[in-house]
Structures are given as structure tokens and as C-alpha cells.
Chain A
């Protein structure tokens, strides 16, 4: 079986090489023969997908058949591993995840090559670039990290098993989503580089690139939030984001991709920032490769990273090659990227995008800087220092607050210029609303673990929380006013009610209003983050009938017991939760010990509501008394993060749906609503 996989990968490499070389030759020649060769290059690109898919299928089949003659299967699976996690074997280790990366890249390449009629020459260029990236990954798989390596010596009876931390339902979805995001950035990169190489006339390439970027960005967003949810539910430390290098690796391309999705509008609307956009998309792709380098080379230490290996060097050279290629074509064809318009006023939509980009790039830089600083410190001072959450939070929270402010102001600014009077007029009531929300939060009696009845003078964290919630209210009000204003105009002329009119409005300009829905999602997520300032925690040994009080909840230990199955041994406690003397739920935090890998794992018990999470962790047993030690976290507003993530995804999907043709309505000039921010 391993031979089928190995040969599939080898043939895939040969076909990719042919697709690249023949495609390249066909692009440089202009004859009937070169066109036919170009077509064979496209078809070999399609065939590459079939071969890489075959290799992936073979590896998964080997996991199901417990074929421990394959070293990768021995290290990442075992006989008693439940069936759904056998699929997860594909991305749980270094070699398999590289195969998965290659598989997704070939799948993206397949879609691109099947849609080549959109613009045959542009797609042919992009196809060659994708083939080049594919060659790199197939070289790695064939010569540096072969997933079909054979075990030496006697055949082992059972495997080491899948990492227990990965034996969680979300782990079957999270890595594919994250990889779809990472790998997907290859496609916009390929189109951008192709357009630069071709000196592509017009802006069609940017429409194609934007759409692909949005799809990829959506996947990466899904992946990041699923990862956060997994960390929250499985790692058992009560948090969802620890600024770990691997988390940072996924966050950096997300930030730059977000910057691109904003600034690309300036290119589409006003023909500005062409060079900047080109480099944003190049950087996003390079950051996704850099993230892979971070997680696989052992450059930085992380709890999530794959084992240290020699493939770091491969990624470093590949990254250098990408940078050199981008620089070469940029220097050669930079005259093609000259701006068509200029900034007319600092009070304009254009300037808001400029500052938005500045802040997003700054956030990305600080994350990169903080991630690499331990290594830099080692080189300079000959000892490492730790750069933990304290650094990232202190530097990034002010940046995030400024971004929120821009999110609020942005929709109120029109393209080209806005008068200060118009800005003041549109900003006044939302600002009053935000202040009212702030006053309300401070003045109300203390509830929801301190979210209501906030005392910002007690702690800087509370102060930041209050400012965050006020800014979120500001964004919500300015964005809502955009929906209501547009909805009213439609309602007036179609006779529909306001809600139907707003749906009509979204349907007419899905991209613009989808974007606003994403902004809504962002503020809901940020409100969830703001709740972390009010987290409480308590730890106690709990025997039968023992009680623990936290934040108005009373926890009573009903029982504790243990169990054993072929995959793991487990211990858990049964805890009744009371509030105001009434039982509201029963929670059973659990600790597992996986036999194959000989490692423990936490199964958190969580009661999640809009108000907050009651999060119970079974810490272990006191060896002297045999009683369980239970740690309780009371984390306000965490559910808002997951709800916000869903809204962000819904907004992205909305923005991807083609907008309907605008219904022409004759509007007398005196009845027209004043446009606040015309266009996207």
C-alpha cells in the first residue's frame, strides 16, 4: 500500500514539473503548437490533483487498516482509535499535514484550471505559478518528509496513537479549515504575480483575486475561531488565545489579508494603491509560508508545533525564492502599478482605508516581532527571554481600539472627500449613544460578573473593557444607521416594511452590506474579549457533598468516579450547580489518560450562556486523600465570541453572493437620502 502512495507522489511531482515547464514555454511562445502544449500543461495540473488525492486516500486507508508497516501510521494512529479520528491522522503529523497541504493546493489548482475560460491567458500564468508552488511541496514529500516511509525491524503490534489533544470533534474540522485558509492564499498570490508579470491591463484580475481572497480569508477565519474554541474546550486553562507562536502564525496572514480586503477597494474604485495591494497579497502568501516554517522548523518553541525537523531549511530557501521572484517582477514592471488618482482630502474613505491598513500592518508587525524576539534576544544577549501574553496584550489592545474607532468612522466617510459638517452631523448621535452605553454600564448595579456596574477606576483592564464596549456600541450604531438609512429609501419607494427593505438593500449590494455584517461580527467578538477583564477563578479539593462558592454560583460535589475503555482511562466528578438556591445544571469535568500515547488530557465541563461561562476543570486527585481537585473559571461573555464568529462567517458568505441588479427607482431629487458613504 505504501508503494502506491509513494509512486502517486512521485508521478504527481513529474506531472507538476511538466505542468510548470510546458506551461512556461507555452506562455513565451505564440503559435498553434504552444497553445496545444499549454493545454497539456493545464491537463497535467488537473491530473496532479488526482494523484495527490490518491496518495491522501492511501494514507487514510492505511490508518483504517492499521498498517503499522508505514512509520507515519505507527506514530500517529493505533488500533483502538475511533473511526472519525482516523481521518484526522492525515494532518496530525509533519509528513501527513504536508501531504494534506499539497492535496488542498492541487484542489485549488483544479478549480482554477477548470475555470480557465474566464481569462485564458491570466489563468494560464496563474496555473504555472501554482504548479511551481506545488513542485516545492511535492519535492518535500518525495525527498524530505515522505509520509509513506517504512518501519524498520519487526512489525509493531500497535501504534503510538493520535495525540490526545487532537481527539476532539473540532479537531476533525479545525485543521482542514486552517489549511484551506493558508493554502488558499496561494491562489490570490498566483493571480497577483501573474497580473504583474503580464502587465495585465484593467482591473479584472483584482476582481478575481479579491473573490479568491475573500473565500480564503473566510476559511482562515473559521480555522482560527475553531482553533480558539478547541483550545478553550480541550486545553483546560480557561482561555482561548495564548499568543503562542503557532496561534500567531495563523493570525499574521489573517491580519494582512484583512488589510488587503480593505485596500483593494481603493484600487477598484479609484485606481489607487496598486503597488501596496500587490505587496499585501505577496506578503500574505509569504506569511502563510513563514507560519509553516515557524511551526515545523523548531525556530520557536510552542506547545502546538510539530516536532523539530530538517525541513526548516527548505522553507527558508523557498521563502527567499518567492521574495526574490516578487522583487524581480516588481522592479521590472513597477511602472504598470502607477496610481490613477490622488488623495483629495484627509476626510475621505480613502484615508480611512490608509489608516486601517497602517494599523493592521502594525498589529501584524508587533505579533511577528513578539514571536521572533526570543530568538533575537538569544542571538544578541545569548539568552532567551519570554514574550508572553502581557507583551502582546499591552501593545495590541490600543491598536485594536484605534481600529474599532476607524471601523465606526469609516462608513460615515464618502469617497474622495467628506465635509467636516457632514461627518459631525452623522457622528453626533452614534457618539451620544456610545456615551450612554458607557454611562449605563457604570451606573447599573453590579451583575454578569462585573460587566454591568463596571468600575473602570479599579483596574486598567476594566477601563479598557469599558472603552472597548463603548467603541463597539459606536460601531454598531454607525453601521446600523447605514442599514436603516438605505432601508428607508427603498421602503419609501417600494412600499415594503423596513426589515424587508433592509434585506432588499443587502441583496442589491451584497459586498458592501456583507462587509458591514462582518463588522457586526467583529464587534460581537470584541465584546466577548472585553469580558475577559472580569474573569474569576477558584480551585478546591472537593469530596462528597463539599461546596464551593464563586460569583453567585454554589457548586456541590455529588460523586466522583473512574472508568476504563480500550482507548483511555478516565476519572470524573459529578458537580451540581445551584444559583439562588435552585439547581440549574449538573456538570461532569473529566480527566483522561490515553493508553497508547501514555498522555493525560482534560475534558472541560462548561455551562455556557450569553452572560458567561461556568467552566470546570478536573485537575486531578489529591494523592493523600484521593479526592478530586476542581478548578472553576467564571468567564463572562465568552459565548459572544463564538456568536460573533458565526456572524463574521455569515457576512463573508453574504459578500460572496453576487449582488442583484439594482432596481431602478425614479427618485425625485428632494426625496433622495443624503449619501453618507457612497459605494463599497
Chain B
């Protein structure tokens, strides 16, 4: 990273503005995700409604980032670090926009289950995975602001935790459904909610990869951790529940 500023101060200001927009967008996405999980946990339709509305802000910010980035490419013909900063802003904003969408989807599910009165313990797993995802998002945004590639790398490695937790929630919810078929509707919503959170974790790792590239100019020299094994999990859960999750082998 360079210590010096651009000779052209308006260029410097534009880069700063791009930075600020991403920071703001990250803040909104973080809040949106937190609210959507709260709304689902407490079955709070008002909070859910408000959260759904907040996604518009994220979309609007993504549009602004894209517009500014395109204008800068056209006007400044950025090179090296500047070019990487602009490309990173475009990619991160698109990840944040997806995070916003996934958060909105969780809030919609909170609306759908608002009338249900299943026991609270069913939601605990989702709440927990949500907390970790939020932490990941927060850390990766800090890493962006601080241009800290090591911090980004730690987020990248920690995604496995979310994947592992998603696998266990998947099993847990299936167990509840088998226990009592009246749980099926509610648990299905929770399952999709958990899947959304797992995807949010993936977007956080995408952002981590982008930050690493932004700082070093090279991709992370390692395979991305992938821990979600539910898509290959056998349907016979009585059998699967006893066996350990298998690592996907190439």
C-alpha cells in the first residue's frame, strides 16, 4: 500500500468516496442481517417489514458504487492499486447487495412464520449461526476499511465453522420435523433461513478474497474451504445422523 496521495486531488476524493460508500453499504447490510435474524427469532412482523424496506438502501448504494466506479474507469484510466481498489469496490458491492437480498429473504420468512407458536428452542441454532455470520461480516468489513489482508484471511478460514454449523442445523431441523409433522412448515422456513445465512457466509469469504487481492495483487494461494455437505447427504437421516459429515473429495 502506498503512503502517498494522488497529485490530482479530485481523484483522491473519488477513491475516498468509493471507500465510504462501501463502508456505508456494509453498515446497512450488517444492520439488515441483524434485524432479519431478530425478526425471525422473535417472530416480529413489524421489524420484519422494516427490514424488508431497508434492502432498497443497499440496492441504491450498489447502483451508486457501480456508477462512480464506471465513471472513474472512464475518466482516470486507473492503474495498479487504484485499479484494484475500483475493481474491489465493484465486486464487494455486488456481494453486499446479495447479502442484502438474502437478509431480506430471511425477513420475509419471519413474516411468514409470525403466527406460528412453536417452541423457542427450534430457533436457537439459526440464531447462533446468524451471530457467527454477522461477526464474519463485521470482521470482513473491518478488514476492508483497514486494508488488512491477514484479517480477511482469518474470515476466509473461519467460513468452515458456519458450514459445519449449517450441517448440524440441517440435521437438527430434520429431527424436529420427524418428531412432529406440525413442525414441518416452520422448520422448512428456518432451514431456508439457515441456508441463506450459510450463503451470506460465502459472500463474506468472497469479500475476504477480494480484499486479499486488493492488498497483495494476487489471489489467495489456497483452496477455498467448503464445509456444506448437506447437498450430498443421504435422505435416510437415521443412518446419516450417526455418521460423521463426509468431506467432499475431488
User: Do A and B interact?
Assistant: no
Residues of A at the B interface (CB closer than 8 Å) are none
